[in-house]
Structure 1
């Protein structure tokens, strides 16, 4: 897969200025950022070479020993992902995750820098706060994605504070260049492995699916579970 955002870590979260690129068409297709990524490839390679080794935590819910694993690939700036989390995910969680029938894994996709910033704020709270912040990001997506880059960053800080994080914690997370670079590399590796080209996408026991209704989702899961 083409490297999508190799310059993100090189320009790491300069949230006070307007020089950052902001993709105004944060839709469901991963591929349009490829041309932008190629322009910044040399800068991204330099940052990658100097980046520290950072471990990325896999964010999971449900039963880690379940026979069925569902991996969601989603972007915090994707309206289709917001719709899925508003209309499908609550039933999926109630019927399959909370009942320990499946293991659910959430993996972020980065269309743009705001999506990366949102991911870093969500991960700033650690595993205990992650999914709560994910809910807040989707519930308020139409509000925090509006404005100039500095405004968006401030909006995300506000969400972080509502989740119980303080300014010092948020500053540390949002200026962690090594973490930003490793998150992008981690996403690229996973997306290539699973053939992810759009969001939301789902990998159910190794097979990749595109966005679907709850009825279709539950049908696939029931078949996998033998129900």
Structure 2
């Protein structure tokens, strides 16, 4: 999917699109049963929860790159279930499981609508260590983010008709996204520079499409544990799966 094709999707039907594309939550299917794996110490002076690697798939992984248990989440920044997971699961995931060195957690993009492209471009604009914290800030403030996305429809529609090297910046300004990220450490000038880099945005969209096609991503969030899809979207499902694999 090209950027032009993606931005031909409706810009204003965000809430219905988000609800339709997010997976239904499943319930937990069992208690922990796997033998516990011993913790793996981080290199001296470092913490696994602060260790960030950009993977060949373009995901942002925190934790031990050689962790025996690898959790991958495909997520959309405008998905309510992804926001729920960020609030209910990620603190324990990072502070307990990733910190042990036994689990790594990789977040990959899934685009449900054109706004996801703009938000991802901003979240990936700064240092790699800031990507997941900025994503969590979006999910933690999703109601106010939605208000900005839907609050100025005429300006958004006008922005969507601009040339690509102006379009993303204009949408970022019309929706308040540039201001939102500026309040969280990404300068407005840096944000505009990243959103004006159409080659980078095009490459991002192509990478996301390739990943989504390969792993058959039909909704968000979608989780994979050591390459196998988890049938569920909530922390109540993911945590037992981690424990069955040996995480404690």
TM-score, structure 2 as length reference? 0.69
CA RMSD of aligned residues (A): 2.7
Counterpart Cα distance in 2 of 1:109 and 1:226: 27
Partner of 1:138: 139
Match of 1:217 in 2: 238
Is the CA contact (8 Å cut-off) linking 1:5 and 1:112 kept in structure 2?
Answer: no
Higher deviation after alignment, 213-222 or 57-66: 213-222
Give the alignment of 1:1-40 within 5 angstroms. Answer: 3=1, 7-8=5-6, 21-24=11-14, 25-30=16-21
TM-superposed CA distance for 1:223, in Å, is: 1.8
Q: 1:96 to 1:209 in 2, by over 3 A?
A: same
Q: Per the alignment, do residues 6 and 69 of structure 1 end up closer, same or farther by CA in structure 2, a change over 3 Å counting?
A: farther
Q: CA deviation at 1:152?
A: 6.5
Structure 1: how far apart are the matches of 2:189 and 2:247? 49
Rg bigger for which structure? 2
The alignment's TM-score, normalised by the length of structure 1, stands at 0.75
Question: Which of residues 207, 211, 214 is equivalent to 2:228?
Answer: 207
TM superposition shift of 1:102: 0.9
Deviation, structure 1 residue 117: 0.6
Q: Unmatched 5+ residue regions in structure 2?
A: 23-55, 160-169
Structure 1: unaligned runs, 5 residues or longer: 12-18, 32-54
1:82 aligns with 2:50: no
Count of residue pairs brought into register by the alignment: 194
1:93 aligns to what? 94
Partner SS, residue 104 of structure 1: strand
